[in-house]
Amino acid sequence: MLSASLAVPGQAAAAPSAPAAPVLPAAPAAPGKQAVATGYGGAVATVDLDASRTAIEVLKNGGNAMDAAVAAGATLGVTEPYVAAIGGGGYMTYYDAKRRKVYTVDGRETAPKAMRADSFVDPATGKAIPFDQAVTSGLGVGVPGTLAQWDTALRRFGTRDLGTLLKPAIRVAERGFTVDQEFRDQTAVNEARFRDIVPTRELFLPGGKPPAVGSTFRNPDLARTYRELARRGPAWMYEGGLGREIARTVQKPPVDPAATRNVRPGLMKDGDLGAYRSRTPAPTRVSYRGLEVYGMPPSSSGGSTIGEALNILDDFQLGAGDPVKALHYYLEASKLAYADRGRYVGDPDKVDVPLKELLSDGFARERACLIKPDRAAAAPVAPGSPDGDYAPCVPPGGATRALAYEGPQTTHLVVADKWGNVVAYNVTIEQFGGSGITVPGRGFILNNELTDFTLQPPAPGSPPDPNLPGPGKRPRSSMAPTIVLQDGRPRLALGTPGGSTIITTVLQILLNRIDLGMDLPAAVAAPRATQRNTPQVFAEQAFIDRYGRALAERGHLVELFAGPPAGVIGAATGLEFLRPGLVQAVAEPVRRGGGSALVVRPSK
């Protein structure tokens, strides 16, 4: 294994510096947003200026990182309602500075008790219903986990109550926020189906059309819902009236009688909400170049797949002197890890996930020996055998499984406080606009997370699929809120939206920062490619322009990423501790309109 330490500004580098990374074409920055902020007293990076300001307000008023993350998440429910809402769920990774330990909080949605492996199969055809019909339906709605997750996180790690932390979001919902191009575009993409759902149309298509750029968007219904949550607490959703409203909406979606869209009813009942519990499993952990990388365990596949890929890469010497070599190994390691993800990872409460073996050095060496230095393996490659009996090299297997679709829309934020606590947090309702179904009078859209299950059971005689629907089961996710420690203390925290590309985006940023010598802003801005055990490598145009020909010579078929959004992979946020107390927060400079990085006290 190789060892390295991260170079920071003003200190000697442990690895040669890389040239400045090529970035995406410039786009107008949103007013007030900055992609990089460096300073003291705490830091935050989100996709949204209002959410970042909320987090800084909490930090300045004495709240800690978890308080700020929850408050920012609530604000994103107002300003980013198509990706972040209390009708969804998510994952948190948390470094506790006092205990010097990493924890996780799993708020992933669950399937209702009535869900079965063939619930998405049309009896008339024996095939899964069309994907768009599964998305825009009550059938795809999982029991929301966000509020339970916030409650668990604040009880264990926070210092403020939920009611206090909802106040900034209530202000934004009442006063409104300025509609930018990204918000209008996300609304326009959903316009046809939003028009068919009465409360969704009334809220998000004011005057019958997407709101204009520069207009003010208010959500008084969500402000009232947040106020009631502040008064009643999360039990109002899981044991009370709000939960009954959600279940009724899922069972009978409020579709316009004139609409021709087939919006199927869902299976959720009141008792499904009452049975929901957030989880606090141990994080995944691998060592890479002398750093400790912590991630989200199953039901997310983020930590296990990133961890396995890093273990594979740790067997090779990579550096800024040969970025094409490094990218070749990155793509091949991703290919192998995704094969194992598809075969073995699901909800560990419902299926046996061999997590320890997937993250073992022996399994990584067995997989690494399949990588050829000058030639890409034909994809899809077969999964390995994480059985504890590892030979120096094994031949490729035969059984493969196609990459299942996973919606690319979520959001990620990072927060650090003056005490050194750190949160990396992914929150989502799955697609842009989730199920498209707004709970009447409540101001939020319900998720379509259950479409992350494999909708079609495998044919008889095929390998078992760990991600089939089932009662109370969490669908597999790729969300990967990641924290990196150096000498037992936090050094990096990062994550991104992007569905199944989340894993490769986080992995590539780590490769850029640790192996290719980029600083974190350059590592985030650098053009991206994703290899998820598919015949093609999908990439951004700047990546193709820079590396496409050289990688093609090694057998990689590099094509433009189709999106959505077309040609754009992810929208990352991250932070790095440059030295004790000094933190650099980093958001996207361009992708999806750019993000917002802020600190409590900027450095001079």
Secondary structure (3-state) at 197: strand
- Do the beta carbons of residue 211 and residue 82 sit within 8 Å? no
| Whole-angstrom distance, CA of residue 33 vs CA of residue 310 | 33
Handedness of CA 75, 444, 192, 176 (dihedral sign): negative
- Is the separation of the CB atoms in 584 and 38 below 8 Å? yes
Q: Which of 225, 410, 411, 504 is catalytic?
A: 410
Phi-psi region of 168 (alpha: psi -120 to 50; beta: other; left: phi over 0): alpha
Helical pair 302-313 and 323-344, crossing angle rounded to 10 deg = 140
CB 145 within 8 A of CB 474: no
Q: What sign does the CA torsion over 497, 501, 503, 508 have?
A: negative
Residue located via tokens 């987090």: 55
Four-point Cα dihedral 97, 497, 40, 602, nearest 10: -170
Token pair listed for 283: 């994080």
Give the span between the Cα atoms of 121 and 111, in whole angstroms: 16
Mapping DSSP onto H, E and C, the string for 155-185 reads HHHCCCCHHHHHHHHHHHHHHCEECCHHHHH
Place of tokens 């946020």: 573
Shortest CA distance to 397 belongs to which of 552, 533, 537? 533
* Alpha-carbon distances, residue 78 vs 69, 83, 91, 212, 407 (angstroms): 15, 10, 19, 17, 21
What single-letter amino acid sits at 262?
A: N
Residue 411, helix vs strand vs coil:
strand
Place of tokens 């000697």: 12
SS3 551: helix
* Structure-token pair, residue 163: 């009611």
Q: Residue 250 and residue 16: Cα distance in Å, rounded?
A: 55
Cβ contact 603:38 at 8 Å: yes
State whether the Cα torsion 210-213-218-222 is positive or negative: positive
Query: How deeply is 369 buried, as exposed, middle or buried, from its count of CB atoms within 10 A (0-12, 13-18, 19+)?
Result: middle
Q: Alpha-carbon distance 494 to 497, whole Å?
A: 11
What is the crossing angle of helices 65-79 and 146-157, to 10°? Answer: 160
Is 93 labeled as catalytic in the residue annotation? no
**How far apart are the C-alpha atoms of 498 and 480, rounded to whole Å?**
10
> Are the CB atoms for 300 and 480 separated by under 8 Å?
yes
Tell me the angle at which helices 361-368 and 302-313 cross, rounded to the nearest 10 degrees: 60
Q: How far apart are CA 18 and CA 323, in angstroms?
A: 9
Query: Amino acid identity, residue 556?
Result: H
Q: Identify residue 72 by its one-letter amino acid code.
A: A
| Nearest by Cα to 353 from 304, 404, 296 | 304
Cite the active site residues: 410
